[in-house]
Amino acid sequence: MNKRKKLFRLIGIALVAAFILISCNIAAIPVAPVSVTATQAPAASPIAPTPTLPPAQAATASSAPTATTTVAQTATSAPTATAQLTAQVIPSINAYCRKGPGSGYYEITYLQQGTAYNVIGRNSLNTWWLVQAPGNVTCWMGDPGATQQGPVDQASIGLVQPLPVTPATFVDSYLCNTTLHTLSVAFNWSAVANVTGYRINRNGTQITDTVSTATGYSDTSAPTGVNLVYGLEAHNDYGVAARITVSVPACD
């Protein structure tokens, strides 16, 4: 009986020793570390987490207009600036500036070639312009070669004082005394409106300026031995009508 117990005890000790030896051998086996390279397991790119807003903030953020929408609305609603040009004319030559739109009106001043003058009025044909001249003078300029810039054709039609018209008749009668070598010439003409007087010229030289009610004149000192040309002009404070002429032959 004792022998069996000893035998079982020895077997148990042997088994325990064998188990301990096996355990030590397993623990001593080296385990190779595993390295993960980029080719074996590429690292995933980090993804930033999307912040989660509270419900109130999320509703506000979703309803707010974007920057792109604001810029587009501003660009569309902004008015386009338009340059407002001044109506001006630039004479092509040194030009007279007159009391009215026509060469029959008296000259007030003259305008410099190449200088721009502001337009404050025009005639209906847009061929004469009421301009602002130096010295706070307003006068009319007509120059077919003038340069227009700005809304000249939109200027208002200027108020013009009328000139007298050319008399419808201008007749003469003369008396040549060949013995005394004297010549007298008498004239008659038709009256016109808007007149302050009538000028009579002889061979380009004024010999008289009558009153507005006159309709005749006598030249008692006409020269002899030369052909004569008489001219009649009706005039007022703004200018003169077109001249009308008659011819008288030389008195020998």
Query: Given 154, 185, 212, which residue is the final one in a domain?
Result: 154
**108 and 140 part of one domain:** yes
Domain assignment present for residue 69? The answer is no
Domain containing residue 214: CATH number: 2.60.40.10
Domain assignment present for residue 231? The answer is yes
Domain assignment present for residue 199? The answer is yes
Calculate mean pLDDT across residues 30-41: 44
- Structure tokens, 39: 């080719």
Query: Given 154, 184, 207, which residue is the final one in a domain?
Result: 154
Calculate mean pLDDT across residues 36-65: 46
Query: Given 119, 154, 189, which residue is the final one in a domain?
Result: 154
Indicate the pLDDT class of residue 73, thresholds 50, 70 and 90. Answer: very low
> Does the pTM of the predicted model rise above 0.95?
no
List all residues 6 or more positions away from 211 whose beta carbon is below 8 Å from its beta carbon: 197
**178 and 223 part of one domain:** yes
**188 and 232 part of one domain:** yes
**206 and 239 part of one domain:** yes
Note whether 121 and 130 are within 8 A (CB).
yes
Give the distance from CA 21 to its chain's centroid.
Answer: 110
Calculate mean pLDDT across residues 113-129: 96
Domain assignment present for residue 70? The answer is no
List all residues 6 or more positions away from 75 whose beta carbon is below 8 Å from its beta carbon: none
Domain containing residue 98: CATH number: 2.30.30.40
Range of the domain at 135: 88-154
Q: What is the pLDDT of residues 150-201, one digit of tens each?
A: 999 999 999 999 999 999 999 999 999 999 989 999 999 999 999 999 999 9
Note whether 110 and 137 are within 8 A (CB).
no
pLDDT at 67: 46
**145 and 180 part of one domain:** no
| H/E stretch holding 13 | helix 2-28
* Amino acid type, 47: I
Domain assignment present for residue 133? The answer is yes
Number of domains composing the chain:
2
Report DSSP letters for 57-117, one per residue.
HHHHHHHSPPHHHHHHHHHHHSPPP---PPPEEE-SS-EEEESSSSTTBPEEEEE-TT--E
Domain assignment present for residue 131? The answer is yes
Where b means 16+ CB within 10 Å and e means fewer, 65-91 reads eeeeeeeeeeeeeeeeeeeeeebbbbb
**137 and 186 part of one domain:** no
Residue 125 vs residues 91, 129, 142, 154, 188: alpha-carbon distances, Å: 18, 10, 11, 12, 36
Domain assignment present for residue 219? The answer is yes
